[in-house]
Every structure is written in structure tokens, then in C-alpha cells.
Amino acid sequence: MVSAREAPALGLAGKIGAGLFAVWGVLHVWVGVEGARQYLVNGTKGLWTMFLGGSNAPVAAYQHSTDLVTSTVQGHLALNFVIDVGASGLLGLALAWMIWKQSSWAAYFLGVVVIGVIDNAFLFTQVVPGLIAFSPETLGGPAIWLAACLVTPFGLPPLFKSSAAPLPRGTTA
């Protein structure tokens, strides 16, 4: 592990990117906590009401299951989903810390790939088909992720160190 003294300096763009990954993480931890709260207070119906509302799944049109087994299975699947969302938020916070403290390219690439899969799967399987509302709240996560991906590399130290030896003084290439 690289100590703080040995870590290359992180530029302003890297700090902004780390901050964006942290904001993404906080928002996703909130979704996990709020989803678990909805489930504990209002059961499966409360959790589904938190999700639904897209153009193809309005809350008023959704018919909750009256079968206990089906309702229990749906509730536990939805609860698992929000717990996973909250855990991905913790990942975002950990990656933000690694970028901020260690100028970590590995953390950046994990953020690009893993958080990218998480957010784009949500966007293209839930929001685009109209199951979850197309709104600033649902587009915020993917937009923050994209901004973090675009900005962060400009503040990280060079990915590859030059292997060329410096020329002796007084000589030119």
C-alpha cells in the first residue's frame, strides 16, 4: 500500500472526480437505506411504490400480488435490490477515497467498469423501458458517474511512466 507521502499528487480534476464518485456513493447508500426503511415500515407494497412510476408502470396501475408466496418473493427480491444498491454506494465511497488519497488508477478503472455496469444496467433495464420514472433523480446517478469518468483522469498522475532516460546536458534529440 502506498503511504500518503509516497502517493503522487492528485490534481484538481482528480479531486473533482473523486468528489463526484463520493456523491454517487452517498446517493446510492441513501437508496439502500430508504428502500430498507420502506420495506420495514410498509412491506412489499411500500418498496414497490418507491420504485414504480415510469410511463409504462404507473403506481396506480400496478396490481400488487394478493398471493402471500408471490408477494413475499417479490418483496425479498426488491429488498435484495436496494441492499445491493446501498452496497454499491459503499463501493463508490471506497473508490472515491482511494482516488483522493492514493491517486489510484485502479480505483478509477473499477469505478468506470463496475459502477458503469451498475448504473447502465439500471438505466437501460428500468428507466428507458418506462418502469421507473424518467426524472432528475433517476438520471442523476448515471450523469454523476459519467461526469466522474470524464473528469477524473485529467487529475490523476500519468498512467505510464516514461522509460526513456534523460539526455545528458547539452545534447538534443
Measured between alpha carbons, how far is 132 from 129 in angstroms, rounded to an integer?
8
Q: Which residues contact 85 (CB under 8 A, 6 or more apart)?
A: 28, 31, 32, 35, 118
Average pLDDT over residues 42-62: 90
pLDDT in tens, 92-141: 999 999 999 999 999 999 999 999 999 999 999 999 999 999 999 899 99
pLDDT in tens, 24-36: 999 999 999 999 9
Is the pLDDT at 3 greater than 80? The verdict is no
